[in-house]
Amino acid sequence: MLPAQWLNHRGHHETAAVLVLSTGTLSLFSIMWFSDGLRDSSLLGYPVILIGAGQLLRPRHFWMLLTLMLTCVLLLGLGTLNGWRTGLTPGTELDRLTDSLSILLVNGFLIWFLTYDMQNALVRLRAQIARFHASEKNLTYLAQHDGLTRLPNRVLGNALLTDAMRQAAVNGTHVALLFVDLDNFKDVNDSAGHSAGDDFLIQVAQRLRESVRQSDVVCRQGGDEFLIGLTELSSESDIGLVSEQVLQRMQAPFRLRGQEVLASCSIGVAIYPAHGTSFDELLRHADLAMYQAKEAGRNTYRVFSEDIRSSITENLHLISSLRQALLQEEFVLHYQPVLDIRTGKLLGAEALVRWQSPKLGMVAPGLFIALAEKSGLIVDIGEWVLNEACRQMQAWRAMGASTLFVSVNLSPIQMSRGNVETVIATALRTTGLDPAQLELEVTESTLVADTEKFIATLARIQATGIRLAIDDFGTGYSNLSYLQRFPVHKLKIDQSFVRRLLQGEKDVAMVSAIIHLAKSLDLTVTAEGVENEATHKALKGMGCDQGQGYLYARPMPASDFEAYWRQRA
């Protein structure tokens, strides 16, 4: 027992057990050898030892011990048969009693020990299973929910809505899927930072959740897109009410890091079973309807209809027509004069693209620029416009128009996707135009995405001698800090302010504030959309530098502009 204890202490549990059990086996063997042989009650000790061995030993050791035991029994039998055993002292009744008691005691102890051990193992197992279940639940939760807003994610949303549709089919009710897309998340992210953007999304999630019933489903589709499932609708008229309510709730100012931020969203709705019978189909249609809501000016909702689908198909058709138009050189540029407001002198022209379609006639840019931007085609169209405008200006320059400038509109997509610097450099090089005669117009939204790379690009463009103007100034972003960071040269006041100039004091204040701002930053200011003499006078009085509008001249083909210039020169 002592060496076994020592081994056990050292951590050699199995060796200790082998030692104890084989010693026990041999001790019983010697007791039996010297007393009743196989008739001795000590033989009962073997099953007890085997129970212990089964529990404590690895199979190999167990079989070795069993072999040892069998050998002992064989020896005892053969010893008795052949008369090798001498110690034939028949046991007394007292012997049997003490033997049986001690064997039962050991047996009982062993069995108690084993059961106790087993129960412990069972408790440990149960705890482990519980832990496993908990972590499984946690994993399922994580896999089905959005980590930021804690809303169900698209996967769970899909399951919940599919369930709701099944239920609606049984009850003859409707389910509406609302595709909610934030209108200005990018602005918030860019201006307030990403962690404020996260806060914003959390608050949006809360408001959406509060806008609907407990039984409705709200989930985050990803990015700034959310889905709302209105379940068990008995009439479709409720959908409009809920959509209005969501739009309204989103309009209350958000508080982000002590700042108030205004937001809005656009919603597309698709209804089960009218617009689709599966989640994916509804989602696709709600998405299309959402785009219609965006196109209708944002902050509104649209319910899917076949018209929407066909207008999308029309758009696809239009995109391929535009691509064709580019190949067949159907685009033309018109030029609109820009004048000095004080002297009326012609200063330059803005190049404005038109599509001379053989089928549709002259198509205004308002009808295709947005689509060209969405499809990325604007990058190629813009490249053509830039080359053509530079070529034309260089031709006029050769005729003597060396002080005029031409200004070209740059789409944000060209800035972010096209290799705009190379395109500009190539246009100047191939046409030979002096960069001082080129002006580029970008919108405020382009400037808001002011990554370091972007600032550096604009600075390099400006360093070549090209001037930069901010188009439609006043309609975009209210945070004016970008004016200090960008090397702009000119602000073009948006037509909407100019047109209302004579209508109200507020617009007068707005325009004069922009003019003052421009003056204090040493920028030139141009008023767009000057349509009448009174507006012209008012602008002149406010100190506006340049004017552009129907009052002076409409955009015109290159040949007309040439005549216009010659007449004034």
CA dist 565 to 277, 392, 409, 436, 535, Å?
63, 13, 21, 19, 24
Verify binding: residue 555, ligand C2E, rule CB under 6 A: yes
| Complex with ligand C2E: residue 182 or 518, whichever CB lies closer | 518
How many chain residues bind Mg ion (CB under 5 A)? 5
Q: Interface with ligand C2E by CB under 6 A: which range of 229-237, 360-368, 455-463, 474-482?
A: 360-368
Three-state secondary-structure class, residue 347: strand
Determine the residue type at 455: I
Cβ-based burial of 1 (10 A; exposed 0-12, middle 13-18, buried ≥19): exposed
Alpha carbon distance 547, 528 (integer Å): 6
444 binds Mg ion (CB under 5 A): no
- Cβ proximity of 240 and 259 under 8 Å: no
- Between CA 380 and CA 389, with CA 383 as vertex, the angle to 5 degrees is 140
Phi and psi at residue 471, to the nearest 5°: -85, 155
Among 183, 383, 444, 472, binds ligand C2E (CB under 6 A): 472
- Is residue 366 at the binding interface for ligand C2E, with CB under 6 A as the rule? yes
Give yes or no for residue 409 binding Mg ion (CB under 5 A): yes
> In this chain, which stretch among 36-44, 97-105, 304-312, 377-385 interacts with ligand C2E, using CB under 6 A?
377-385
- Minimum distance from CB of 345 to ligand C2E (Å)? 18
Which residues are CB-contacts of 465 (< 8 A; sequence separation ≥ 6)? Answer: 434, 435, 436
Does position 470 bind ligand C2E by CB under 6 A? no
Per rule CB under 6 A, is residue 330 in the interface with ligand C2E?
no
Least Cβ distance, residue 553 to ligand C2E (angstroms): 9
Contact in structure between 182 and 265 (CB atoms under 8 Å): yes
When asked if residue 385 is in the footprint of ligand C2E (CB under 6 A), the reply is: yes
Q: Of 36, 216, 471, 545, which one interacts with Mg ion (CB under 5 A)? A: 471
Query: What are the strands of the beta sheet with 265-272, ordered from one edge?
Result: 217-222, 225-233, 174-182, 265-272, 301-303
**CB-nearer residue toward Mg ion: 35 or 535:** 535
**Site map 514..533 versus ligand C2E, x via CB under 6 A:** --------------xxxx--
Cβ distance to ligand C2E smaller for residue 157 or 555: 555
Question: What is the phi/psi pair of residue 253, to 5°?
Answer: -60, 145
CA 199 to chain centroid: 15
For residue 105, the surrounding DSSP H or E stretch is: helix 93-144
* Residue 411 sits in the site that holds ligand C2E (CB under 6 A): yes
Question: Closest residue to ligand C2E, Cβ-based?
Answer: 549
Q: Are 225 and 260 in contact (CB under 8 A)?
A: no
Least distance (Å) between residue 266 CB and Mg ion: 24
User: Is 550 an interacting residue with respect to ligand C2E (CB under 6 A)?
Assistant: yes
Q: Are strands 331-340 and 556-557 parallel, antiparallel or unpaired?
A: antiparallel
Q: Name the minimum Å distance from CB 279 to ligand C2E.
A: 38
Comparing CB distances to ligand C2E, the nearer of 152 and 555 is: 555
Work out how close the CB of 555 gets to ligand C2E at its nearest, in angstroms, rounded to a whole number.
5
Question: CB of residue 557 vs ligand C2E: minimum separation in angstroms?
Answer: 13
Q: What are phi and psi of 349, to 5 degrees?
A: -150, 150
CB of 415 to Mg ion, least distance (A): 14
Footprint of ligand C2E (CB under 6 A): 336, 352-353, 364-366, 369, 378, 382, 385, 409, 411, 441, 471-472, 495, 528-531, 548-550, 555
